[in-house]
Amino acid sequence: MKSPDFLYLDHNATTPLCADALAAMRPHLEEQWGNPSSIHALGVRARDAVEASRERIAGVLGVRSSEIVFTSGGTESIHLAHHGAALAARGRRRLISSQVEHSATVEVLDRLAGDGFDVERLGVDAEGGLLVDRYHAALDDRVFLVSLIAANNETGVRFDLDELGRAARDVGATFHTDAVQLGGKGFSRLGERPID
């Protein structure tokens, strides 16, 4: 790949495809390009490759392969999770988030607030950590969803997913986290944490 004529420092958001990933994808791009929803041989091979990838990702994350949903990216995933939780809220109309979420989360929170949901956005301390005492005080049986970023995309500050997730579960709320920024950071198996 030709080097750009500038210094690029945001590889956490977007980075060039590495040679190993390109080599792994090349057969699927050039030879096994079937539609995985098709029932012909090329489609079946493509579906098998997708399912093998799903199994591998599930193993890394420590979840069941049936829990892996492929989307176009983080924004679509966040919107899908929030709207799905809102549809399943069963009369609960309140959700909790923070004031330091990624813009994808801010957008969907604004939309849900416009649809009549009560959205509480908690503040952070001087170091960017969530005001945990306010978080615990905000949790009650009206909350259907807690959505907190795992690692901030601008500051790198990480929230304590274990403590926050357990507290959300204690009130029967779904605990969602935007963990996009944890990729490649040695994160532990998410399936073993209190994350929905």
CATH number of 109's domain: 3.40.640.10
Q: What domain count does the chain have? A: 2
- Encode pLDDT of 30-50 as tens digits: 998 999 999 999 999 999 999
| Residue 43, helix vs strand vs coil | helix
Question: 89 in a domain, yes or no?
Answer: yes
- Contact yes or no for 29/157 (Cβ under 8 A): no
173, 86: one domain: yes
Q: In which domain, by residue range, is 139 found?
A: 74-192
**Has this prediction a pTM greater than 0.85?**
yes
Question: 6 in a domain, yes or no?
Answer: no
- Encode pLDDT of 57-86 as tens digits: 999 889 999 999 999 999 999 999 999 999
- Encode pLDDT of 170-179 as tens digits: 999 999 999 8
Whose tokens are 């392969």? That residue is 65
Distance (Å, whole) CA 177 – CA 161: 8
Question: 5 in a domain, yes or no?
Answer: no
- Encode pLDDT of 123-157 as tens digits: 999 999 999 999 999 999 999 999 999 999 888 89
- Contact yes or no for 174/85 (Cβ under 8 A): yes
Mean of pLDDT values over 8-22? 84
| Residue 94, helix vs strand vs coil | strand
Whose tokens are 């490759």? That residue is 49
pLDDT for residue 189: 78
Q: How confident is the model at residue 112 (pLDDT cuts 50, 70, 90)?
A: very high
Residue after which a domain boundary falls, among 48, 67, 86: 67
Exposure string for 166-176, b = 16+ CB within 10 A, e = fewer: ebbeebebbbb
Q: How confident is the model at residue 1 (pLDDT cuts 50, 70, 90)?
A: low
Instruction: Give every CB contact of residue 4 below 8 A, 6+ residues apart in sequence.
Output: none
Q: Which of 1-5, 168-172, 182-186 has the highest mean pLDDT?
A: 168-172
Q: Maximum CA pair distance of the chain?
A: 58
43, 89: one domain: no
